[in-house]
Amino acid sequence: MEWKANFSVGDTKMDDQHKGLIVLVNQLAGENEVDVREALEKLQEYADIHFRDEEALLAEIGYPDLDKQAAEHETFRKWLDEQLETYRNGGGSDTIRARIQNYLRIWWIKHILFSDKAYASYLK
Protein backbone atom coordinates (compact mmCIF):
# COMPACT_ATOMS: atom_id res chain seq x y z
CA MET A 1 0.00 0.00 0.00
CA GLU A 2 1.40 3.32 -1.05
CA TRP A 3 0.34 6.89 -0.30
CA LYS A 4 -0.39 8.69 -3.56
CA ALA A 5 -0.97 12.36 -4.33
CA ASN A 6 -4.68 11.72 -4.87
CA PHE A 7 -4.90 10.63 -1.21
CA SER A 8 -4.27 14.21 -0.14
CA VAL A 9 -7.04 15.78 1.92
CA GLY A 10 -5.43 19.21 1.68
CA ASP A 11 -4.07 19.30 5.21
CA THR A 12 -0.38 18.54 5.77
CA LYS A 13 -0.81 17.16 9.27
CA MET A 14 -3.62 14.82 8.21
CA ASP A 15 -1.68 13.72 5.12
CA ASP A 16 1.40 13.02 7.24
CA GLN A 17 -0.62 11.00 9.72
CA HIS A 18 -2.22 9.03 6.88
CA LYS A 19 1.28 8.30 5.55
CA GLY A 20 2.30 7.12 9.01
CA LEU A 21 -0.72 4.85 9.21
CA ILE A 22 0.11 3.33 5.83
CA VAL A 23 3.66 2.58 7.05
CA LEU A 24 2.20 0.72 10.02
CA VAL A 25 -0.29 -1.18 7.85
CA ASN A 26 2.55 -2.17 5.51
CA GLN A 27 4.56 -3.49 8.43
CA LEU A 28 1.82 -6.01 9.01
CA ALA A 29 1.78 -7.00 5.36
CA GLY A 30 5.55 -7.45 5.09
CA GLU A 31 7.16 -10.81 4.65
CA ASN A 32 9.44 -10.18 7.58
CA GLU A 33 8.74 -11.86 10.83
CA VAL A 34 6.72 -9.35 12.77
CA ASP A 35 5.01 -9.58 16.08
CA VAL A 36 1.47 -9.06 14.85
CA ARG A 37 0.12 -8.28 18.27
CA GLU A 38 2.75 -5.59 18.82
CA ALA A 39 2.18 -4.14 15.36
CA LEU A 40 -1.57 -3.99 15.98
CA GLU A 41 -1.02 -2.27 19.31
CA LYS A 42 1.18 0.32 17.62
CA LEU A 43 -1.46 0.83 14.96
CA GLN A 44 -4.14 1.21 17.61
CA GLU A 45 -2.15 3.86 19.43
CA TYR A 46 -1.39 5.77 16.24
CA ALA A 47 -4.95 5.51 14.89
CA ASP A 48 -6.36 6.81 18.18
CA ILE A 49 -4.17 9.91 18.00
CA HIS A 50 -5.04 10.42 14.35
CA PHE A 51 -8.80 10.04 14.86
CA ARG A 52 -8.70 12.46 17.77
CA ASP A 53 -6.74 15.06 15.78
CA GLU A 54 -8.92 14.62 12.71
CA GLU A 55 -12.18 14.91 14.64
CA ALA A 56 -10.84 18.03 16.40
CA LEU A 57 -9.94 19.58 13.06
CA LEU A 58 -13.37 18.78 11.61
CA ALA A 59 -15.10 20.21 14.67
CA GLU A 60 -13.01 23.35 14.31
CA ILE A 61 -14.09 23.92 10.69
CA GLY A 62 -17.70 23.00 11.43
CA TYR A 63 -17.69 20.03 9.07
CA PRO A 64 -21.33 18.94 8.64
CA ASP A 65 -20.57 15.20 8.35
CA LEU A 66 -18.44 14.96 11.47
CA ASP A 67 -20.87 12.45 13.00
CA LYS A 68 -20.45 10.15 10.03
CA GLN A 69 -16.65 10.44 10.29
CA ALA A 70 -16.67 9.75 14.00
CA ALA A 71 -18.92 6.72 13.47
CA GLU A 72 -16.52 5.24 10.91
CA HIS A 73 -13.62 5.81 13.26
CA GLU A 74 -15.55 4.08 16.01
CA THR A 75 -16.23 1.09 13.75
CA PHE A 76 -12.52 0.82 13.07
CA ARG A 77 -11.64 1.06 16.76
CA LYS A 78 -14.06 -1.73 17.61
CA TRP A 79 -12.80 -3.94 14.81
CA LEU A 80 -9.18 -3.42 15.90
CA ASP A 81 -10.08 -4.14 19.53
CA GLU A 82 -11.54 -7.46 18.43
CA GLN A 83 -8.45 -8.42 16.42
CA LEU A 84 -6.20 -7.59 19.34
CA GLU A 85 -8.39 -9.61 21.65
CA THR A 86 -7.91 -12.59 19.33
CA TYR A 87 -4.14 -12.20 19.33
CA ARG A 88 -3.93 -11.65 23.07
CA ASN A 89 -5.82 -14.88 23.55
CA GLY A 90 -3.25 -16.68 21.42
CA GLY A 91 -5.60 -17.17 18.49
CA GLY A 92 -3.41 -15.52 15.89
CA SER A 93 -2.75 -17.55 12.77
CA ASP A 94 -1.49 -16.86 9.24
CA THR A 95 -5.07 -16.94 7.99
CA ILE A 96 -6.16 -14.33 10.49
CA ARG A 97 -3.11 -12.24 9.75
CA ALA A 98 -3.88 -12.30 6.02
CA ARG A 99 -7.49 -11.37 6.72
CA ILE A 100 -6.37 -8.47 8.90
CA GLN A 101 -3.97 -7.21 6.23
CA ASN A 102 -6.70 -7.24 3.62
CA TYR A 103 -9.20 -5.53 5.83
CA LEU A 104 -6.70 -2.82 6.81
CA ARG A 105 -5.68 -2.08 3.26
CA ILE A 106 -9.23 -1.86 1.98
CA TRP A 107 -10.54 0.05 5.01
CA TRP A 108 -7.87 2.77 4.90
CA ILE A 109 -7.98 3.25 1.13
CA LYS A 110 -11.76 3.54 1.18
CA HIS A 111 -11.80 5.75 4.24
CA ILE A 112 -9.17 8.18 2.97
CA LEU A 113 -10.39 8.34 -0.64
CA PHE A 114 -14.09 8.70 0.13
CA SER A 115 -14.76 9.78 3.71
CA ASP A 116 -11.69 11.88 4.37
CA LYS A 117 -11.43 13.47 0.95
CA ALA A 118 -15.02 14.62 1.41
CA TYR A 119 -13.84 17.19 3.98
CA ALA A 120 -11.03 18.54 1.77
CA SER A 121 -13.18 21.22 0.17
CA TYR A 122 -14.20 22.51 3.63
CA LEU A 123 -10.60 23.23 4.56
CA LYS A 124 -10.19 25.97 2.01
Ramachandran assignment for 66, one of left (phi > 0), alpha (psi -120 to 50 degrees), beta (any other): alpha
Q: Which is nearer to Fe ion, 29 or 66 (CB)?
A: 66
Q: Which is nearer to Fe ion, 56 or 89 (CB)?
A: 56
- The burial of 6, by beta-carbon neighbours within 10 Å (0-12 exposed, 13-18 middle, 19 or more buried), is given as exposed
Q: Which is nearer to Fe ion, 11 or 116 (CB)?
A: 116
The least distance separating Fe ion from the CB of residue 32, rounded to whole angstroms, comes to 28
The least distance separating Fe ion from the CB of residue 9, rounded to whole angstroms, comes to 9
Write out the E strands in the chain.
none
Question: Which residues would be at the binding site for Fe ion (CB under 5 A)?
Answer: 54, 116
